[in-house]
Amino acid sequence: MRTRHLTVAVLFSGFLALSLVVAARNRCRAWWNGGHNVCTLAAATKLPEDMPAFFRQAGAELAEVSGEPDNWKNPIAPHLKATEQPEHYLDLEYLEGQPIPEHRADLLKHYFSKHIEPSKAGFLPYAVQEGYERLKVAFRSCRGQPESKAFQHCAIVYAGWLAHYCEDTAMPLHTTKDFDGRPDAAGNLQQKGIHSKIDGYPESQGFTPELLNQGLVAERAENVWPLITKAITVSNGYVQRCYELDAQGAFDKAPEKGKEFILERARAATKLTLDIWYSAWVNSAP
């Protein structure tokens, strides 16, 4: 699919065909691996000087590990796949206008009270919050034993995983039950395939870390939960825009129409990743 001698048109059409097949199998892939890779690399280029050197030098590793949560949805691991899939989205319609509960158990209580299948509605904010806390504990270990390569490795791996979920929050179709098309009055699904078009856009259009990190500055939050829930609710506000742009061919036939929109979303993904990483480091201090 990436043979250099193919024309751009053939390359892009092949990419879309493959992406539609993948989307039909799995609703949970927000940003293809190249998208996660570039967002994570962009965040890594703006790590503050007060973060440890081993972490600031780990950009390539962080980017590589950022794709790992999608590997956990592999059919060869059916139990892991069933648990992992709902970690990548939160369909806000099922909350019926209520705030996102701060704890996973409270959201489960809501789902059960409304007879909602939990795996159908998702748990994305908890994947970010719990991943942040996991990284914060790892950074605390690094502070206590700064020469430990094992603890450094743990921090890099946890941060890479965490980046994936942070970046998923910026994909609007991971916040809605209409994640890959909308039913018309007759119940027929319209615009199926939109999810995959958006997922693949940063990769197919050659987004670079330099394009995403312009003006990017790390900010520390003492409590990251408001950052997480705001990222999801803001992203949800763009669902209608996704469908409008798709109707104009902005993600495939006329990709120049969708660039500004996807660029903003990719930068939001990069910003949240950087801020959550930095907050985990600063807040890990005794």
Q: Rounded to the nearest 5 degrees, what angle is found at the Cα of 49, between the Cα atoms of 45 and 53?
A: 80
Quick check: 92 pLDDT over 60?
yes
Query: pTM of this prediction?
Result: 0.89
Distance separating alpha carbons of residues 190 and 199, to the nearest angstrom: 18
39 within a domain of the structure (yes/no)? yes
CA-nearest of 156, 158, 160, 99 to 125 is 99
Note the pLDDT tens digit of each residue in 232-247. Answer: 999 999 999 999 999 9
Distances (CA, A) of 240 to 33, 100, 157, 172, 176: 25, 21, 35, 9, 10
3 within a domain of the structure (yes/no)? no
Q: How many domains does the chain have?
A: 1
Note the pLDDT tens digit of each residue in 6-26. Answer: 333 333 334 333 333 333 335
Q: How many CB atoms lie within 10 A of CB 158?
A: 21
Q: Rounded to the nearest 5 degrees, what angle is found at the Cα of 163, between the Cα atoms of 157 and 168?
A: 140
Strands (E), the chain: 182-183, 189-190
Note the pLDDT tens digit of each residue in 152-182. Answer: 999 999 999 999 999 999 999 999 999 999 9
2 within a domain of the structure (yes/no)? no
Quick check: 211 pLDDT over 50?
yes
CATH code assigned at 270: 1.10.575.10
Domain that holds residue 263: 8-282
1 within a domain of the structure (yes/no)? no
126 within a domain of the structure (yes/no)? yes
247 within a domain of the structure (yes/no)? yes
Assign 29 a pLDDT band (cuts: 50, 70, 90).
low
Strand partners, 179: 181
